[in-house]
Structure 1
Amino acid sequence: MLRHLLLLLACLPLLAGCGVDADQELLCRKLIPAFEDESFTGVSSRMLADDPRAIRLDYQSAGESHWITCRFAGSSTEAGRTQLAAVATDRTGWLSGIRYAMLEQWIRIKPPRNDAAPAASFVRGVETLWTPFLFLLQQIINAATVACVYGLLALGYTLVYAIIGQINLAMGELTMLGAMMTAMAAAGLGMAGLATWPPALLGVLVLAMGFTAVQGWAMDRLVFRRLRGVRSHTPLIIAVGLSVAYQEGMRLLHGARDWWPTPALADRHDLVGDGAFTVTALSSQLAILGLTAGLYALLWGVIQKTAYGRAHRACTDDLAAAELVGVDVNRTIAVTFAIGGGLAAAAGSVIAFYYGGVSFFTGSLIGFKALAAAVVGGIGSVPGAMLGGALLGLVETFWSAYFVIAYKDIVAFGLLTLFLIYRPQGLLGQPRGRGD
């Protein structure tokens, strides 16, 4: 008896891998409304015998039997088990590249459960001559949001570099702080029933920007001011150390889990369609564009019309000469760090509310991509930062839509490499003439 019990216990791990993964089944079930105008019932699931990474769901809709098959990047015991790779149905077979991309788009802006009919047009309609052009227009709309994130953070990089000639690699971590603060504040708003109230969302944005502005000021006051005039790589190494310190501090304080705030301003607006594909935009996308345009216009006005702006431009031209004619260099640089920190937090708030999934590591890759955008546009140039963000957003979004999405980061940094080789000053930048 004991021998049989031990044998059963030894087989349990093997038996555990024979059933359908619950997470995979749930993800696949959420795709059914994209193909059905009516409600569905009687869902049963099973693994495909010839493909351990695929599961099939059989269901009833409008009195008819249908099925959907979802293939994932990994089986239930492998990495990538919740990463969707391909989808097939009894009506369409395996979705083609463009239709699968349409489905991915629908997943991100999925309508409420009782409004599944518009979703069906993403994958069930007959393609027309206009479908590829509408799909291209949708990607431009999607790219605008990505460009706003990169552009806002690139502004922070470019302002600091323009005045001190050094890159603050910890700027990405200020974006992470802004995103984490936004996520935590959004959780509080949710408990208070104010998760979608625009004035409350604006208050969260101002709070996050103010906090990271103070962090940016403190970076200069406590660290970079002491390194001013150092011509070695010490400031760069210190910036890397600050980045790691912020990451680990946030991990120790709040853990390594992802935060998923409630999406704000998630109303969907259909713009144009041809029956096979409908171009849509979210209220949040329009708000992000307005926020970015407003902050850029405000920054441009400050740089061009205020005493700080004149001091910043003087320090950008020649730091030593500006100090000789009475410009308070230390204060100007400290304010620049604060403004850069606030812009980084704005990018973080956009990430938290629009994309979600923020964690202590959020600012790392985003920071390097925004730095790439600043270099491409011309680091030190305010218009160049926005131009670089727009270009990088377009390249990344188009690559994700038309090619293998796994290589989009390689393409982004490959673009940076090409600019560093053939045009190191960027599109709108000018070669620096101060010997630094």
Structure 2
Amino acid sequence: MEKRESFNSKWGFILACIGSAVGMGNLWMFPTRVSLYGGGSFLIPYFIFVALIGSTGVIGEMCLGRGTRSGPIDAFGAACETRGRRKLGDALGFIPAAGSLAMAIGYTVVMGWILKYAIGAFTGATLAPADTDGFASAFGSMASAFGNNGWQLAALFFCILILMFGVGSGIENANKLMMPVFFILFVFLGIYVAFQPGAMQGYRYIFRIDPEILADPKTWIFALGQAFFSLSVAGNGTLIYGSYLSDEENIPASAARVALFDTIAAILAALVIIPAMATTGAKLDQGGPGLLFIYLPNLIRSMPGGTLIAIIFFVAVLFAGMTSLLNLYEAPIATVQEKLHLGRVPACAVIGIIGAAVSLLIQGIVSDWMDVLSIYICPLGAGLAGIMFFWVFGKDYAETQVNKGREKNFTKWFVPVCRYIYIPVCALVLILGIALGGIG
């Protein structure tokens, strides 16, 4: 049997998992939701759900990957094999595996936008429009069908090239560089914004608590969606990274660090974006791509040293997006390696060609593409992974896996909480997403 690749260090793995979690949700949705749902009134349920999901689903997916040493198809298959239903498990495992590829393809379109804006920050093109309408027109042209082919293919090329170097030399080393740089750049931006007139009003808003908003079910629903999707539980990326772990790794401790740093990244984004908007008196009620590619560039253009701020901001966003894209493509690449018995480079090439072809075709519909995946596939994949690990493999197996690499056994409440709270939460995210048109 061919030796499975692995991470070279504990922090290499942790940084890779942080990189997979820190992405566009932290940057273009979290600050908006903090603004829309009462600042601290949103943060309280958000922290609660991060703690819940980080201590259940994230740990479970890492343990399932490590225990089976495989991606979702073989992991689900191995679980169902214990009940004599291997083919059923393989079929169910295809859902998160295909979902990861589809999500990666959609994310490739977004990364093409980010790469164009990051390079444009250096050349001056990013801040060239004169007003909001100009930025909206530039973004609309770029985000149309076949509107950004070259930059999109370039972003995908760099991602696949990194993946060809493997887990240790490629994914790990890339995250060791990009994640620390991301945090350093955003800390710098946070300090810069703090000294701008009017920023204090933004800070007051972020940390205020309005009991009426806190009592609103919508605040809790969207805090749940934000935490769920931010921590990347979907039965694929966290699972596949876990499959590269040694038995000496303390998974609950690693999961806690991932949840902590992902939350820090989200808070940093809010501490930069909300006070920056407050300096102009603007209300932050625009989330999604419009925030990053229309409203923030227009704001940065008017700031002292706007060109430098744009460079720092979009390079940081580029690094956050690229680390997430690496994770999304890794699950289908590993699946191709396992099922077609291809080497690392050919498997990357196959997935890269599929990613290039499909991502070019969906440029004009990428928003709808990503909505379908986040509403249906991600919570379904997370729930299935939880069912496989905590119910099909069973309590004894789950406890054995979670206690590997630990000096003391993890809490005895771990499996019951995952069975009776976390898995129903996955079902709730699916139901609420369908009912409300998405909560992620």
TM-score (norm 2): 0.31
Q: Which has the higher contact order (CA 8 A, sep 6+)?
A: 2
Higher share in strand? 1
Find the structure with the greater CA-based Rg. Answer: 1
TM-score w.r.t. the length of structure 1 is 0.31
